[in-house]
Amino acid sequence: MHFFRRTAEFPDAASLLAVLALLLFAGCSGGKSPREVASAGCEGQLEGRIYGGIEADIDWQAPALDCAGMPRPDQRGARLRFAGTATVDDRQRHLLFILALPTLSPGTTGADLPTTITVIEEDAGRFFSNRDNPVCWTDVESQEQLRAPHDFRISGVSYCVAPLAELNGNGSLSFADLTFTGQLSWAKPE
């Protein structure tokens, strides 16, 4: 595990707190790293090309993909999480994508939903996000209820009109579209 020191990687305490909060919010995995949970698989997919601070083709499907979704901590909207491995600079890297959709409701669809997207490169300890910058949206094309009353299969596409800033560095990350299908449980966390 990569431990962060207060250096140029984190120019101020606010950045460190933001990164720690993102790690906590990413915790749909029961404390496991993206590397550990990616082997669990899910009935979903994440597809797109990212470039800039990380150059990679993302084409994750079961069983090499871990995905989960849950209500946001304040019970406003939902958070979707996708973890997998991609080739970055000729090396396998573990990446985590978090899509926060504060206006999404159970069973609904919609276009141009405001979205905060966070991408974490676990192996390098890099964090990219559009937090506090309204430049990303999601079109939720379907939210289909599964057997359990609170469980849904969700599909859509996310896009941004500006790059995601690196929270602990000077880089940025861009993509045209991220197409996804994942799992979302609207059950209130215990």
- Whether the link from the prior residue into 63 is cis, omega within 30° of 0, is yes
pLDDT score, position 18: 42
Residues of the chain with pLDDT under 70: 1-41, 190
Q: Record the pTM.
A: 0.80
Q: Please check whether residue 190 lies inside any domain of the structure.
A: no
pLDDT score, position 24: 39
Q: Please check whether residue 91 lies inside any domain of the structure.
A: yes
Q: Please check whether residue 1 lies inside any domain of the structure.
A: no
pLDDT score, position 27: 45
pLDDT score, position 153: 96
Q: Which CA distances in Å does 120 have to 38, 93, 141, 144?
A: 14, 10, 25, 28
Q: Please check whether residue 3 lies inside any domain of the structure.
A: no
Q: Which two tokens stand for residue 2?
A: 């990569």
> Which structural domain, as residue segments, surrounds residue 167?
13-185
CA-closest candidate to residue 52, choices 170, 173, 135, 168: 173
Q: Please check whether residue 55 lies inside any domain of the structure.
A: yes
pLDDT, tens only, 103-133: 999 999 999 999 999 999 998 899 999 998 9
Please give the tally of structural domains in the chain: 1
Q: Which residues pair with 129 in a beta bridge?
A: 118, 165
Residue 21 parent element (H or E) = helix 13-25
Q: Please check whether residue 125 lies inside any domain of the structure.
A: yes
Q: Please check whether residue 69 lies inside any domain of the structure.
A: yes
CB 176 within 8 A of CB 50: no
- The number of residues in the chain equals 190
Q: Which CA distances in Å does 175 have to 64, 88, 183?
A: 21, 15, 22
pLDDT, tens only, 139-155: 999 999 998 889 999 99
Q: Please check whether residue 2 lies inside any domain of the structure.
A: no
